Amino acid sequence: MPNIHNHKGINPIVCAAMTFLLMLPELFMLRGQIWWEAVVATLFNVCFYAALSYLICILFSLAKPRVERALHIVCHSFLVGYSLSNVFLLLSFNRHWDAYILQFLSETNARESSEFVHTFILSYHTLGLVVFYALFIAAELGGVKRVKPWPAWAKSKVGRALEIAGMMLLVSHAFFFGSDAMTNDERVGMVHSPIKRNAIWNLYQSVLMHKSFAQEFDRCAQTLQSYKEPVLCKELAADFVLIIGESFNRHMSNLYDGAYDTNPRLRQRLAGGRLFVFRDVIASDNGTTQNFKQFLSTASVGEIRQWCDAPLFPLVLRRCGYNVVFLSNQFAGAEMDKRFNASMGFFNDPRIASLLFDYRGTRTFAYDEQLVTYYEQQRKTLEQPKRNFVIFHLYGQHQRASERFPESGTYFKSGDIRSTLNLSEAERQSVADYLNATRYNDLVVDHIIRLFEKRNAIVLYFADHGEEVYNYRHQLGRTDLATDVPRAKREQLDVPFLIYLTPSYAAVHSDMVARLRAAEGRPFMTDDLSHVIFDILGVRTREFVAAKSLINAQYQAPRKRLLQIKKWYE
């Protein structure tokens, strides 16, 4: 083993540069924290990263010069990639590397990746970040040549005391890097360690959580396979159409408090008296996958049971005789052999999909109306004479919004956009694109309603989550709501929730008309969607809870709504 005390030592510039690269994302994560928490987090992370960088440099210095140089190149490449990507995520989405980002990357298809690159990666502020990091590395290389190496181990008592303190800090906190995310979190909570504000620890926790998603899928499959309850259904004739929109901020729609004419067709139906608009509905999360898992499950957020430990409602409907058809314009059944892909990876587990659906769509289209037209052409082979439960999952207003509507759907222009913010031309165009996508979505939903207009049917439309579109700040897309400002929840979670009754259904269900009208102002969260559907169709199962059904006289409106991130909406 080389004599450490006589070794060439470590370069303080390299050590400081490594600390800076690790520390920079932490500074952006301080937004929204109480001042004293920010101070504690900063002091802890500076010490933690300085000790970690120093230890890495010591270990590298034990190698031969050529090997040491190669190790530093690899290490710096990794640190630059980690730091740059983390800062990019924090600036663009106020979100650092976490389980949902990992899931998003593993689920994103080529179409979404291309749109993401054009919208965010090739933006000026991203290119500016790349230039900044390039200049930083150049400055580091210049500084290395001007500074003499330090001894690997300090010779003064103060220096050695600092080294020992740094090593003790690292060793003591290795206890929080166990193999189970929940256990790690509990350990940190017990001793109130500031490592909970450390990005590397959070990234490690996210990797563990990402692995747990696959375990949830296994549990979900086991739950579905073991569900043997006989189910009764009062409704013996009606079709039910469930339309799941995407990234729809209801405050951008003039069905609600939006200032632009985004929904002319649905507003016309509203005047007809058979469209019911629910004014206080929120999503339980701002991620598509997390919401899908929760609103398909008969379990609610905050229950002891997780989503995967309760039956999903499509299986319950199939059990009582409904023909369940699922068509998505975001991912197709041909991808079911992949565990994580394209969105809602749990849908792509054959054990789950085969139990939930009688038919699973196998095609996606450039625009949502093409999906509806495809169903219209194939409906004779997809439907049974009555009691069809048809799910349309649209692309809606998903970013990039300009890709969500055909050229003929252009109605709003950048010059039409009014804002108290000093928006750039590109930002105004993004708002106009979102409004055009919303207006096109109005056409698509109306098209679906027309397909069932002459049938005995109910149509329920809601969006998986909302979206920020420069509403009150310069922010496009969704952020980490756990650390973001409270106002962000309004834009990213407030969703439209509509129920339409066809003439033939309304004619024989006057009681339902009255129940829907009485419920329009009640607060609700979409994790309890299954209970509303069961209530409308008269499904009698042990999973149905009348107090969770928005339209039921026994409904218990929550004073506060608990989100999946363990924070209250109100």
Which amino acid, residue 364? T
Structure-token pair, residue 182: 């929940």
Largest CA distance in the chain: 93
pLDDT in tens, 445-498: 999 999 999 999 999 999 999 999 999 999 998 887 877 888 999 999 999 999
pLDDT above 70: percentage of residues in the chain: 89
Cβ atoms within 10 Å, residue 532: 23
pLDDT, tens only, 50-84: 999 999 998 998 888 899 889 999 999 999 998 88
Mean pLDDT, the chain, as a whole number?
Answer: 87
Strand bridging mode 388-393 / 239-245: parallel
The pTM score is 0.75
**218: pLDDT strictly greater than 70:** yes
Joined together, the tokens standing for residue 444 give 């698509």
Residues 6+ apart with CB under 8 A from 463: 244, 245, 246, 247, 248, 250, 283, 396, 495, 496
Residue-level pLDDT at 78: 93
| pLDDT at residue number 120 | 61
Q: Which of 24-28, 192-196, 301-305, 334-338 has the highest mean pLDDT?
A: 301-305
Choose among 241, 255, 275: nearest CA to 442: 255
Name the burial class of residue 42, with classes exposed (0-12), middle (13-18) and buried (19+) by CB atoms within 10 angstroms of its CB.
Answer: middle
> Which pLDDT value is given to residue 119?
59
The domain segmentation of the chain, as residue ranges, is 4-210, 234-548
Statement: residue 39 has pLDDT above 80: yes
Checking if the pLDDT of 311 tops 80, the result is yes
pLDDT at 44 over 70: yes
Beta-carbon contacts of residue 390 (< 8 Å; ≥ 6 apart): 239, 240, 241, 242, 325, 327, 375, 383
Residue 336 has pLDDT above 70, yes or no: no
Per-residue pLDDT at 118 exceeds 80: no
Tokens 């989503």 appear where?
A: 307
What are 383's two structure tokens? 């439907």
What's the confidence (pLDDT) of residue 292?
93
Name the band, by pLDDT with cuts 50, 70 and 90, for residue 356. very high
The interaxial angle of helices 99-107 and 199-226, nearest 10 deg, is 60
Q: How many residues does the chain have?
A: 570
Provide the pLDDT confidence category of residue 3 given band limits of 50, 70 and 90: very low
pLDDT at 343: 41
Residues 520-546 have a mean pLDDT of: 98
Which tokens sit at 80? 């630059």
End-to-end CA distance of the chain: 61
Helix (H) or strand (E) segment spanning residue 97: none
Collapsed DSSP state (helix, strand, coil) of residue 494:
strand
pLDDT in the model for residue 28: 80
If you search the block for the tokens 């509990």, which residue do you land on? 186
Contact between residue 441 and residue 248 where contact means Cβ atoms under 8 Å apart? yes
Per-residue pLDDT, averaged over 429-453, amounts to 98
| Model pLDDT for residues 142-190, shown as the tens digit of each residue | 888 888 888 777 677 777 787 788 788 888 787 788 777 777 777 777 7
- Per the model's pLDDT, the better-predicted residue between 345 and 358 turns out to be 358
Phi, psi of 177 (to 5 degrees): -110, 55
Beta-carbon-side half-sphere exposure of residue 468 (alpha carbons within 13 Å): 22
Q: Which residues contact 443 (CB under 8 A, 6 or more apart)?
A: 265, 369, 409
User: Contact at 8 Å (CB) between 360 and 211?
Assistant: no
pLDDT tens across 367-425, in order? 999 999 999 999 999 999 999 999 999 999 998 899 999 999 999 999 999 999 999 99
Asked if residue 346 has pLDDT above 70, the reply is: no
- CA dist., res. 463 & res. 445, Å (int): 12
Range 234-548 has CATH code 3.40.50.12500: no
Measured in whole angstroms, how far is the alpha carbon of residue 101 from the centre of its chain? 8
CB 242 within 8 A of CB 497: no
Tell me if 470 sits within 8 A of 476, measured CB to CB. Answer: yes
Q: Which long-range contacts (CB under 8 A, 24 or more apart) does 344-350 make?
A: 344/107, 344/288, 344/289, 344/292, 344/293, 345/103, 345/106, 345/107, 345/213, 345/217, 345/289, 346/213, 346/216, 346/217, 346/220, 346/289, 346/292, 346/293, 347/292, 349/217, 349/220, 349/221
Exposure on the CB side of residue 416, measured as CA atoms within 13 A: 16
